[in-house]
């Protein structure tokens, strides 16, 4: 029985030890002196365990974070105490962007499993970006990608059925795994049914039922949090027009 947690994959360390640098620099290709300067900014705080906070809603903005291993959820909590999950963050992805304009974090981030991050002090990043246009453009790019990704979620929550939402969610997660060099076909979800339900605007019972249903239809094999995508075609049809990227990396 496969009990592998994300963090146990050996490829993680290779893929993500310099993940914040990759995120910020890869496309523009800073020269090595500039890379060096950026590298010096990056801190590696101790790993966090499941449920621990990376930051809380309203904390003063200190750093942007890039996930090195494990995964996080970000959520905002209304004063009635209940949380609304805004997103899940896999290795290589950035946390804290929404705070840039406000000087404080707009949501809380907590680890879904044992997880580690790179921290990039915000003010020093900003200073550096002022002198490195390519870094700066990359920042713009990342932020606007975030905007359009959030807008895709709006699309999702707009008027889609439970099946469409879950199928879209799974394909999304799958392709994010694939981007980082993991299997797009089989993976462990690090979040609970409750978390998925919250994120998709449904209840955990509906998520559970929908998993069962997708399994009965032969699109998935579900063993608790281990998901195997059996019929990607079928899943994509159910998801609707949202996802068409083949992500044929099914190693």
Partner DNA sequence: TCATTTCTTTGATACAGATCAAGAAACTGC
Partner DNA sequence: GCAGTTTCTTGATCTGTATCAAAGAAATGA
Alpha carbon separation from 166 to 20, 67, 163, 200, 238 (Å, rounded)? 29, 24, 5, 8, 9
* Part of the chain binding DNA (CB under 7 A), chosen from 7-15, 78-86, 123-131, 159-167: 159-167
CA distance 54 to 111: 7
Cβ 105 to a copy of itself shortest distance, Å: 10
Say which entry of DNA, a copy of itself, none residue 247 contacts (CB below 5 to 8 A, set by partner kind): none
Query: How many other C-beta atoms are found inside a 10 Å radius of the C-beta of residue 35?
Result: 15
Reading across the β-sheet that carries 108-111, which strands appear in turn?
53-55, 108-111, 72-77, 83-89
Burial 47-85 (b: 16+ CB within 10 A, else e): ebeeeeebbebeeebbbbbbbbbbbbbbbeeeeeeebeb
Q: How many residues bind DNA (CB under 7 A)?
A: 24
Say which entry of DNA, a copy of itself, none residue 43 contacts (CB below 5 to 8 A, set by partner kind): none
17 vs 114, which CB is nearer to DNA? 114
237 binds a copy of itself (CB under 8 A): no
- Near a copy of itself by CB under 8 A: residue from 130, 205, 233, 245: 130
* Part of the chain binding DNA (CB under 7 A), chosen from 35-43, 114-122, 126-134, 155-163: 155-163
- Near a copy of itself by CB under 8 A: residue from 159, 224, 248, 251: 159
CA distance 43 to 47: 12
Q: Which positions lie near a copy of itself, rule CB under 8 A? A: 76, 78-80, 84, 86, 97-102, 106-107, 126, 129-130, 133, 136-137, 139-148, 150-151, 153-155, 157-159, 198, 201, 240-242
């Amino acid at each position: 029985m496969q009990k592998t947690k994300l963090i146990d994959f050996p490829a993680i360390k290779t893929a993500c030890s310099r993940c914040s640098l990759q995120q910020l620099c890869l496309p523009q290709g800073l020269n090595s002196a500039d890379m060096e300067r950026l590298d010096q900014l990056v801190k590696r705080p101790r790993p966090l365990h499941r449920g621990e906070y990376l930051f809380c809603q309203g904390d003063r903005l200190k750093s942007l974070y890039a996930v090195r291993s494990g995964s996080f959820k970000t959520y905002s909590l209304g004063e009635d105490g209940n949380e609304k999950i805004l997103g899940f963050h896999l290795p290589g992805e950035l946390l804290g962007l929404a705070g840039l304009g406000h000087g404080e974090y707009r949501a809380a981030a907590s680890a879904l499993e044992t997880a580690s991050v790179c921290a990039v002090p915000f003010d020093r990043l900003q200073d550096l970006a002022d002198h490195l246009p390519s870094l700066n453009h990359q920042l713009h790019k990342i932020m606007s990608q975030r905007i359009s990704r959030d807008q895709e979620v709006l699309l999702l929550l707009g008027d889609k059925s439970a099946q469409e939402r879950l199928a879209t969610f799974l394909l999304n997660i799958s392709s994010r795994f694939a981007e980082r060099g993991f299997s797009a076909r089989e993976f462990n979800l690090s979040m609970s049914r409750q978390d998925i339900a919250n994120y998709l605007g449904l209840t955990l019972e509906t998520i559970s039922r929908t998993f069962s249903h997708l399994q009965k239809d032969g699109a998935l094999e579900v063993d608790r949090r281990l998901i195997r995508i059996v019929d990607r075609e079928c899943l994509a049809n159910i998801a609707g027009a949202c996802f068409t990227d083949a992500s044929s990396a099914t190693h």
